[in-house]
Structure 1
Amino acid sequence: VNELDVQDYFGLNIKTKQYVGWTSFNPPIELKNGRQLEQIIINPKVEYSDFIKMLEIAYDIELPELVEPARLDSIKDLRIILAHIYIRMVDELIKKHLRRNYITRVENLESKIKGKLLLGRYIRENLSKGRPQVALCQFYELTPDNLLNQIVKAGLIRAKILISQSFEYTGFRNLSKDAVKLIGFLANVSDRKITPIDFAKIHYHTHNRHYKHSIELAKILLFKNCFAHYVGNIRVSGLFIDMNDLFEKFVAGLLYSRFGKYLEYQRTFNFSIDNKDGKGKLIPDITIDLEGENIVIDAKYKELFETEVSREEEINTESTYGDIEVKIRHSDIYQMVAYLDNIESDKGVIVYPFSGENISKSTIVKGFGNKRIKLIGIGLSNIEKLKEEKDKFAKECFHINKNSIS
């Protein structure tokens, strides 16, 4: 089934360069050629083993070895992997801080007053009944028992169940214990049934934005998909992983082991907007502040040697790799220049994937004043080898002025 068929029949515009996963149709769709369509599977361009290693590096986890290689069309395997990632994410969330809200409580307190004494009710309900020592008070209490944490806890319980059903995989028993420990940290959060309507009630802002990925993953674990809706009488559901997001986290994970606390992922920078109220925001993927250098790194999940870029969109650098000319979209360069201008840095790196095993491909883009923008292609055909060479990759990113292919 090609993309045109999918868009024709279902109004779905699935860009297979950006997502991997699956979607299913119940009942199956009758196609024009008489065949039935039950499921669409979008496989990663890399080997499954390399895809799993990308997940490990992106989320700083070590997945237990599966009895058989995981496949994206094996929903059981994929959900177990996501359960592992979820437990890791919740662990980091709890370490960072749990969102707490003030709630109003009305309570009879023995021999003390807290907050506001409800005098009229105190006289009617306590004093008139011979209980002058019991004060009826209204007060505010800061508690973690809110919708966000209730969803997080429900997701943890579901992750634990998934893992406990998968002990045929080596290494999952310890993971189940980790889930139990985290559930214990949420003892003051109510256990309740979570419905899809609960997710619609959530509005993200500055103080709860760090919950976003955990909540999205909890939804997948609880409802077996990341989306489900009806087109006519056909239920369309599925689970997709955004490869743009995964590649950004993967690049950050490769660099974190070298730069540690000097690396920030998706740091927000504000800038003023003339003739408008408020400020705009720039959020580069990665910033590194080390040894007086402030370097901006942007990860782009698209081929460095993109063959489908139009002449109006591409920039041709003077450097080539053999007979291959480096091509890059104008928008990628202009975005990096905007980052560098705002952050007052003169060094930027744009990282792209390519279908090789090495990370030695890089070149410099010049012509923007004193700014130096380095393009680095990292091979995704052998992630294990890339892990072994991550120090080399870190040096490529940090030493901007060195052109390895000049």
Structure 2
Amino acid sequence: MKYPQIIELTEYKLRQFPADKINYDIGTKLWQEYDEKDKKIKVEFPTPKTKNKWQFTSLGYVGYIPITSEFHIILKPKVPLHNLFGMLEYAYNIKSFCFLDGLVNCDSLQEFYNYLVNILAQKILDRGRKGFYRAYLPKTENLTYIRGRLNMQQVMQKPWDVKLKCDYQEHTANISDNQILAWTLFIIGRSGFCSEKVAPIVAKAFHLLQGLVNLQPFKSRDCVNRKYHRLNQDYQTLHALCRFFLDNIGASHQQGNYSMLPFLIDMAKLYEKFVAEWLKIHLPSNLRLQYQERVDIIDDKIYCQIDLVIYEVKTHKVVYILDTKYKLNSRPSTDDIHQVVAYATYKKCHQAILIYPHKLTNHINQLVGESQVRLRSLTFALDSDLEKAGQSFLAELIKYNEPR
């Protein structure tokens, strides 16, 4: 068996390779798909400027990209691996699941990925042994016998027709609860990131569902705000795991003809989700958080979405406007400042916060203009214990009371 060539890149760290180590066609494909189009990896071709070397820089993504069957790229996080796992646990609401204890033994992103894949596949197999959840769905069909309610209007209009139009309820497993599981296993199987041990388990679970449901695409948003009850309560765990995979496997390629799909975590989006979910759990009881709040500027045609809005529970008053910035800047950019201050002004809020994963050389804490908005840059650090970093961030956040 011929193993693919694998190179490793770390977030925002430039890495060079001799010109003869990377096939020119592969380098061109990487540039076309992940630099020119998607801006996930900065690609510099061998030239006198680069001392005749390839130069690659990961632009804030973590994961695995199979460029071809012979050439793969692993994108490593700049944050400690156990903190990346901790961020994912919060962001996808899987922190409370007892099966996550085994994550402490994961030494790489691939081990983490396969650990979660194995859990999902095994839980689907367990549910299959007990019987997949079924529901009654309305169905209309022309039958040679009466089933359910007979459509008398059709019988009177076409008395010669031997087939009778019947409306009835079908008890079926071909419902979205199970279709989400099948689609997730399908794209996991195409990712090419499963280990030799886990891949057969995924195939077995997918085969079990394949005979019961129609395969159709789903997005990660289809896994949230679903209704659970006594008969399908265990699906909540399954759908939480599905959401993670649907969010990060081949998001832009699911409808294409790719034989393998990339597994990519957008660290900026993950940081935003992580901070939001951490705050939801740890905010004082007199405050509540609204994530990705939509604000219509002109009806519903022109609108914006604010990352994080914190309200006072009793008065429903906006206390803080927050915007996460997963950047390496030494100080907030002018555009970032203008944006968060504009949001605060629009919401009549006097506290505008920019949140960074590292301490800025030039942090900000000042009143801005006539609006009297206090603009601050705060840190929710990712290079140390996440819980301690979160508590430190929260203490700084609520340090200043809103000016009267």
> Scaled by the length of structure 1, what TM-score is found?
0.59
User: In 2, distance between residues paired with 1:101 and 1:340?
Assistant: 48
Displacement of 1:388 in angstroms is 3.5
Counterpart residue number, 1:69: 106
Residues matched between the structures, number: 314
Matches within 5 A, 1:7-406: 8-10=28-30, 11=32, 12-13=34-35, 14-15=40-41, 16-28=58-70, 38-62=71-95, 63-66=100-103, 68-72=105-109, 74=110, 76-81=111-116, 105-106=140-141, 113=149, 117-120=153-156, 123-125=159-161, 136-137=165-166, 149=177, 151-155=179-183, 191-192=212-213, 194=215, 198-199=216-217, 217-219=244-246, 237-259=261-283, 262-272=288-298, 278-290=300-312, 292=315, 293-294=317-318, 295-303=320-328, 306=329, 327-354=331-358, 363-364=365-366, 366-367=368-369, 369-382=371-384, 384=385, 386-388=386-388, 390-400=390-400
Change (3 A) 1:116 1:52: farther
Q: What are the Cα deviations for residues 227-285 of structure 1, in whole angstroms up to 9, with x where unaligned? A: 669x9x99774211010111011111221122378212112221217xxxx53222111
2:91–2:274 CA contact under 8 A, matched in 1: yes
Match of 1:53, SS? helix
Counterpart in the other structure of 2:8: none
Q: Classify the secondary structure of the residue corresponding to 2:159.
A: helix
Q: Decide whether aligned partners of structure 1 residues 121 and 77 sit closer, same or farther in structure 2, where only a CA change above 3 A counts.
A: farther
Q: Give the fraction of aligned pairs with identical amino acids, expressed as a percent.
A: 19
What is the distance in 2 between the residues matched to 1:64 and 1:57?
14
Distance 1:115 1:364 in 2: 72
Matched-pair contact (CA < 8 Å) for 1:297–1:351: yes
Q: For the structure 1 residues 228 and 371, does the alpha-carbon distance in structure 2 shift closer, same or farther, using more than 3 Å as the test?
A: closer
CA gap 1:281/1:7 in 2 versus in 1, 3 angstroms: farther
8 A Cα contact 1:347 1:373, kept in partner: yes
Q: Which residue of 2 aligns with 1:176?
A: none
- Tell me the amino acid that sits aligned with residue 105 of structure 1: T
Is residue 272–residue 324 contact of structure 2 (8 Å, CA) maintained in 1? yes
Task: Supply the distance in 1 between the matched residues of 2:336 and 2:303 (Cα, whole angstroms).
Answer: 17
Question: Per the alignment, in what secondary structure is the counterpart of residue 68 of structure 2?
Answer: strand
Match of 2:45 in 1: none
- The equivalent of 1:317 in structure 2 is none
Letter in 1 for 2:292: Q
Q: Structure 1 residues 51 and 269, CA, compared in 2 at 3 Å: closer, same or farther? A: same
Unaligned 5+ runs, structure 1: 29-37, 89-99, 128-134, 167-179, 308-326
Is the contact made by 1:346 and 1:370 (CA closer than 8 Å) also made in structure 2? yes
Segments of structure 2 that go 5 or more residues without pairing to the other structure are: 1-14, 42-57, 124-134, 199-204, 227-238
Q: Deviations over 1:95-136 (max 9, x none)?
A: xxxxx9997613668698567732257623569xxxxxxx74
Q: Which residue number in structure 1 is paired with residue 11 of structure 2?
A: none
CA distance in 1, matches of 2:321, 2:166: 54
* CA distance 1:214–1:68, shift in 2 (3 Å): closer
Higher relative contact order (CA 8 A, sep 6+): 1
Q: Distance in 2 between matches of 1:393 and 1:70?
A: 28
Q: Does the 8 Å contact 2:223/2:242 carry over to 1?
A: no
Distance 1:121 1:395, change over 3 A: farther
Inter-CA distance 228–60: structure 2 relative to 1 (3 Å threshold): closer
Q: State whether residues 302 and 352 of structure 1, in contact with CA within 8 Å, keep that contact through their aligned partners in structure 2.
A: yes
Q: Is the 8 Å Cα contact of residues 82 and 217 (structure 1) preserved in structure 2? A: no
Q: 1:86 to 1:351 in 2, by over 3 A?
A: farther
Residues 263 and 287, structure 1, Cα contact 8 Å, conserved in 2: yes
Counterparts of 1:335 and 1:142 in 2: how far apart (Å)? 52
AA aligned to 2:60 is Q
What secondary structure is seen at the aligned counterpart in 2 of 1:42?
Answer: strand
1:312-335, CA deviations, whole angstroms, 9 ceiling, x for partnerless residues? Answer: xxxxxxxxxxxxxxx211111122
For residues 236 and 110 of structure 1, the distance between their equivalents in structure 2, rounded to whole angstroms, comes to 48
